[in-house]
A and B are shown apart, each in its own frame.
Chain A
Amino acid sequence: MPKLRLVTILLLSGLLVLAVAPALAGHGIMEKVKEANEPFDSLQIDTPLPKNTVQVKEEYQGGAFWVLSRKDSIGRFPCSRCHGKKKSFKREGAALAHGDIELVHGQGEERPECKSCHNEKNLDLLSDKKDREIDFDHSYQLCGQCHFRQKSDWVGGAHGKRHTYWIGKRVVWNCATCHDPHSPRFKKRWPSTYSLPLDK
């Protein structure tokens, strides 16, 4: 009985209403999100495509999307400048020409080597496990062969990042924009600033 009286008093004084957060009363943000299923016109704002972009060869939940290209950023591209028809893979030459490339990519049996990724027949292209030829601008296809989860998160939007705009044509960074394929882990570094203690 005393319990019930307390509730009545609370109700009358409006305290109970305060205590029940709107989130619990069914008007919270989660309910709003769940109810919002109408398609949204992302193309209502016409955002410019950066010039170094290519269309991704698959779709995300919202349709077509674009990715920052890579070929224009690869210093030694096209590889065929040096890698012509004659196949004389001499090790010393490689040390001279690609001595800067050190593979620190995973450990154990599964870890990739040069030919897991580069197409021996034509070095201007990459190739995956199934010897599928892949353009350097679409190297996400190569990475995705071994990193399935990261790839599908990247397509959906939980791995990697969008370029400049949240609306308009969706443009994202390539895997290789962030990861050096030969040494994909992010390097340690100093933070770009620091914070003062919070004032009271």
Chain B
Amino acid sequence: MKCDRRTFVKGMGLTVAAGGAALSAGCSSMPSSGEEMKLRFHEYFKENYRLMTQLEKEQTVERLARLAKLNHDIDVQVGTQEPLEQVLYGYAFNVSRCEGFMDCVTACVKENNLDRNSKTQYIRIFEMEHGETDVGSGDGKYFHEVPVPDHYYMGVQCFHCESAPCIKACPTKATWREPDGIVVVDYDWCIGCRYCMAACPYWGRRFNWGEPHVPRAEITKKQHYLGNRLRNKGEMEKCTFCIQRSRNGKLPACVDACPTGSRVFGNLLDPDSEIRFVLKNKKVFRMKEELGTDPKFWYFID
């Protein structure tokens, strides 16, 4: 598999010390070619995504695509689509409609190239007893026929808070809120300290404790730099409202896959959007609203 930043630096040090001879030491699979070495070198010293020029963005995604070809023998397209003007994404979840089928989770794992080894999932569905409102008391790992009478289901994922504590916690500015409201991570600037994870009151973030693995045939090739491109060990990740889809006009994979229509997604700045209809006409609430995190994710009932 790939080399992470730290091991790579070790490898680089060795190269200098041994005059380029002992390349294979220190990392299970060191760059196998001069080309790969060069690509990795540029990747290592690139800027934070937010400070890159358009040209630099194009160059890095080209390198990433080439590296995916060299390492996994697949042809990926890593996009850098910018936010659309006058768009701020919002999400609503109908707790009286979800039946707990979890098709959203399956679709999300596939779309976002989530690690299969650790069974990483961005979305968690809690089975809750009627009358119960604290997700902490719900069952997040049920596996039986659903829906169970007298229960309801509540999906939790990153809420893309307007006032996000995770952003404030990051010491390297590797995570921030985009103009369209999506809270993203520049995986290459993440140092893996996990402060953001600790700061999030909603269990929204996922950490790669091991080297993530996705079977080659299952890799989603349409990717975004800030979204579902392949991650490495030691990097933080989370839901991005499927930035690679939403910025191309598509619904996030979870919304698209939901067979019950419990998930509503759209532009909060469009007065005619469905999400605005829900906010205007339904009883809505947000999780732990008192914390002042100002999530862009609402729950509603009919």
Q: A residues touching B (Cβ–Cβ < 8 Å)?
A: 21-24, 28-29, 32-33, 36-40, 42, 44-45, 47, 60-63, 149, 153, 156-162, 164-168, 173, 178, 186, 188-199
Q: Kindly list chain B residues whose C-beta atoms are within 8 Å of the C-beta of A156.
A: 274, 277, 281
| Residue in contact with B102 in the complex, picked from A32, A36, A40, A191, CB distance below 8 Å | A191
Chain B proximity of A189: nearest CB distance (Å): 6
Q: How far is the CA of A13 from the CA of B278 in the complex (A)?
A: 40
Main secondary structure of the interface of A (DSSP, over half): loop
- Cβ < 8 Å to A, chain B residues 184-228: 203, 209
How far apart sit A149 and B282, CA to CA, in the bound complex (Å)? 12
Q: When the two chains form the complex, which single residue of A28, A36, A158 contacts B264, counting CB atoms closer than 8 Å?
A: A158
B143 within 8 A of A: yes
Q: Which of B14-22, B31-39, B66-74, B119-127 contacts A (4 or more CB under 8 A)?
A: B119-127
Whether B261 and A191, one on each chain, are in contact in the complex, defined by CB atoms closer than 8 angstroms, is no
Contact B272 A192 (CB under 8 A): no
Given A167-B267, A194-B143, A21-B163 contact (CB < 8 Å): yes
Q: Give bound CA distance, A21 to B282, whole Å.
A: 25
Task: For B107, give the chain A residue with the smallest CB separation.
Answer: A192
Looking at the assembled complex, report how far the CB atom of A140 sits from the nearest CB atom of chain B, in whole angstroms: 14
Residue numbers in B under 8 Å from A40 (CB-CB): 86-87, 267, 269-273
- Residues 241-280 of B, flagged 1 when their CB comes within 8 A of A and 0 if not, give 0000010011100011011110111111111111111110
Q: How far is the CA of A188 from the CA of B119 in the complex (A)?
A: 25
Separation of A32 and B89 alpha carbons in the complex (Å): 12
What B residues does A44 contact at CB under 8 A?
84
Q: How far is the CB of A150 from chain B (nearest CB, A)?
A: 8
Asked if A193 and B106 sit within 8 Å, CB to CB, the answer is: yes
Smallest Cβ-Cβ distance to A28: which chain B residue: B294
Do A160 and B261 have beta carbons less than 8 Å apart?
yes
**B144 interfacial contact with A, CB 8 Å:** yes
A149 and B274 CA atoms in complex are apart in Å by 16
- With A and B bound together, what is the CA distance between A90 and B276 in angstroms? 52
